[in-house]
Amino acid sequence: MSTKSTDARHTRNSLGDISVLYVSVLMRAADAEGADTTELASRFQLDRQTLTSPVARISIPRFMRLGHAAISETGNPALGLRMGALSRPVDAGIAGLAGETACTAGAAISTLIRYALLTSRNNRGSPTIKPGTRQVQFYSIRPYNGFNYFVVDSVLAAWTQFLRNVTGRYEVLEKVTIEYPATGLDELFESWFRCPVDFGAPANSLTVRRDVWESPSLQAQPAMHEKLSELCEREMQQIRRGWTTGDRVKNLLTPLFRGETPSLETIAMKLGLAPWTLQRQLSAEETGFRELVDETRKQLARDYIRETNMSLAEIAWLLGFANPAAFHKAYRRWFGLSPGEHRKQIRSY
């Protein structure tokens, strides 16, 4: 295994990381749209060993920059839809294979979402599913810009294509909602998803048709589904077994920041613990809740400044500061210089 592959496996970016399985889909779509994918791979230091490794991952910001570059190369702002069209169940790894062997389409997409952590970890949250309303939801990745529109497009399109693959049907949705505002491609999106698409919505989601949700999967195989699901559970347990209580707290903190500081009581409730129990467990790990809040903000601040083009006001909001001035003060305490100075310093290298 190459050094890059090893690093991708063991070094976690605090903003999150994603399996190279999805990078391969992106490159496949870029190639289909006429981009020079060999040059793209070289520019982003993606060698063949990394791209074919079953464990390699790249940071979410690097994936977004790669996608933005691919869109610039192809001139196709809807490249995320092309990615979805070219997605296969196997591109979601073991979770995709376990999903397609489920008995029904609803069980198939539920399996895919349940094991999403196996191939993608993002500090913003995790995808969720509401079987009662047949809604599949992708978490918010605000603020939106030219670097992350395609991420929402590709995720929703890939889930749609997954349902099409397991049912053999093309019209599988009732409705699509997308958080970011319309970009002038409304007709294209409604034609691709084959249903109404609501931009500027409160959430990124798909609502699956009832008859589709209940329809049998073309690849249903109960014995194989059970076996593959066991493998997924085992891998999920291995991932979570390595988490300390502090890790679990930090994992919950980030998506809750957004304009405010989550309380100890809120985090304890989400962990199913009494506040005093959480305090005791953190103390046993020689840390505390305030320290974890500060440490998490520091790690995220560094990566937002280094890896994104977000404004300082946007970063301050994402980190839960009351105002940009409070963020500037904290940043100077952490790194000895202002966030603007640090960004200029990084980009001058």
Q: Following DSSP, what letter does each residue of 176-233 receive, concatenated?
A: EEESSPP-S-HHHHHHHHTS-EEES-SSEEEEE-HHHHTSBPTT--HHHHHHHHHHHH
**What Å distances lie between residue 265 and 251, 259, 281, CA to CA?**
15, 18, 14
- The three-state secondary structure class of 311 is coil
pLDDT digit of tens for each residue in the chain (349 aa)?
Answer: 333 333 333 344 567 889 999 999 999 999 999 999 999 999 998 888 788 877 788 889 899 999 999 999 999 999 999 999 999 999 999 999 999 999 999 999 999 999 999 999 887 889 999 999 999 999 999 889 889 999 999 999 999 999 999 999 999 999 999 999 999 999 999 999 999 999 999 999 999 999 999 999 999 999 999 999 999 999 988 887 777 889 889 888 888 888 889 999 999 888 878 899 999 999 999 999 999 999 999 999 998 898 888 899 999 999 999 899 999 999 999 999 999 999 888 877 6
How many whole angstroms from its chain centre is CA 287?
28
Residue 231, judged by CB atoms within 10 A of its CB (0-12, 13-18, 19+), counts as middle
**pTM strictly above 0.85:** no
Separation of alpha carbons 5 and 3, rounded Å: 5
Q: How far apart are CA 304 and CA 307, in angstroms?
A: 5
Measured between alpha carbons, how far is 155 from 149 in angstroms, rounded to an integer?
Answer: 10
What are the strands, taking DSSP E only, across the chain?
16-19, 57-59, 120-122, 128-130, 135-138, 173-178, 197-199, 204-208
